[in-house]
Structure 1
Amino acid sequence: MKVIYVVFIAVFLFAFPSCEKSDVVADAEQEVILKKAHLMSRFKAHLSGGEEVPANTSQATGQATFALSKDGTMISYKLIVANLENVTMSHIHMGAAGTNGGVVAWLYPSGPPAMLLQGTTNGILAEGVIQAENLIGAFAGQPLDALVDAMMAGNAYVNVHTTAFPGGEIRGQISGK
């Protein structure tokens, strides 16, 4: 009887793997990684004249939101502004906070040339989708990941240009939500 009991215990120990603490941590770490990846598929920018380089005293403001598609091939965006006069264009530029950089994607209009939107704009200025073929400048010919990586690193910003501020009236650094 003792032999059967010992054999039963041996089979039980080998047949059912243990639930070690390290297994649980690995699952928890994986969940955190997945949550971070989901969070980093959404980005935002708060725009103001104070963010421009050099800063200006414009009372205009804006908000841009971006969402990366699940397959990573498109970025949907919406740009909302307030108190902005005579908009000519808006882009995503490559550059860290406090620096100016080149244009890598058009937001308003969806491509060149610039288009004057006369009068005061309050509300949605631009809404659309960016794909790899829409990238220009330093990112021309590169996969969309190039822009996503810059956005994740804080090295991209939204700039809205007007007739009063041709170099940009309001700007906001893009960051993960």
Structure 2
Amino acid sequence: MARNRTWTALLTLATLVALSAPSWGGMFPPPKGELFTADLSGYEEVTPKSTAGTGSFKLTVAKSGMIEYELSYSDLESEVRQAHIHFGQPGVNGGIIVFLCTNIGGGPNGDEPACPQSGTVKGSFDAADIIGPNDQGITGGELDEALAAIRSGVTYANIHTAVYPAGEIRGQITEKRMGMIPWLQK
């Protein structure tokens, strides 16, 4: 008899959960787009750099097509010159896809944000900001090709400084899954 009550209670609970699942939308909203992140350190540079500098990078590609980024960093050893997204797998240097910030010019539109010495820079980019790299198959303006490289995990964020002009800290950009249940995200 107790066994039947237990099974009845479990079946009732399972039915209630199944019927209420559609109303969970407010509790677990669907993803608003794609999220990519990177942790930056000198050890990711080619060749590695022993630096106290660290950073983080976040890029969102909204379903509307809007692309926004946030680059935060601190403890770099000298004046920050520029930061970019480059086209290259781990352990390999690649060409510049897009400027994130610059203190020495050189960006395609001249409206790139200035790089703080330490802190956070936020911005957005579109096809007009994509500069290449031509010799790696991405030509200026090819936003779809740039996004394909980002989605494939073969891009990295890189911060260039006066002491390390080729880059002081870098991090490979990887997708962060935005599943319906936050604690199951990778």
Q: CA deviation at 1:106?
A: 0.1
When normalised by structure 1's length, the TM-score is: 0.69
The match for 1:156 is 155
SS in 2 for 1:165: coil
Which has the larger Rg?
1
1:130 matched to 2:128? The reply is no
The match for 1:168 is 167
Q: CA deviation at 1:144?
A: 2.0
1:55 matched to 2:48? The reply is yes
CA contact (8 A) 1:39 1:176 kept: no
Q: 1:44 is matched by which residue type in structure 2?
A: T
- What per-residue deviation string (whole Å, max 9, x for no partner) do you get for residues 45-72 of structure 1? 1000000001010110000100002122
Higher strand share: 1
The match for 1:96 is 89
CA contact (8 A) 1:40 1:152 kept: no
Partners of 1:49 and 1:39 lie apart in 2 by 32
Q: Relative to 1, partners in 2 of residues 1:173 and 1:46: Cα closer, same or farther, differing over 3 Å?
A: same
CA RMSD of aligned residues (A): 2.8
Q: Relative to 1, partners in 2 of residues 1:106 and 1:42: Cα closer, same or farther, differing over 3 Å?
A: same
For residue 121 of structure 1, the aligned residue among 117, 135, 138 is 117
CA contact (8 A) 1:44 1:174 kept: yes
When normalised by structure 2's length, the TM-score is: 0.66
Moved more, 167-176 or 129-138: 129-138
- What per-residue deviation string (whole Å, max 9, x for no partner) do you get for residues 62-90 of structure 1? 00100002122x31001000102300001
Q: Count the aligned residue pairs.
A: 138
Q: Relative to 1, partners in 2 of residues 1:148 and 1:69: Cα closer, same or farther, differing over 3 Å?
A: same
Q: Relative to 1, partners in 2 of residues 1:173 and 1:167: Cα closer, same or farther, differing over 3 Å?
A: same
Partners of 1:165 and 1:142 lie apart in 2 by 29
Q: Relative to 1, partners in 2 of residues 1:110 and 1:163: Cα closer, same or farther, differing over 3 Å?
A: closer
Q: CA deviation at 1:40?
A: 6.9
CA contact (8 A) 1:40 1:176 kept: no
Partners of 1:111 and 1:70 lie apart in 2 by 33
Structure 2 unaligned segments of length 5 or more: list them. 1-28, 177-186
Structure 1 unaligned segments of length 5 or more: list them. 1-34
Identity %: 36
SS in 2 for 1:41: strand
CA contact (8 A) 1:94 1:102 kept: yes
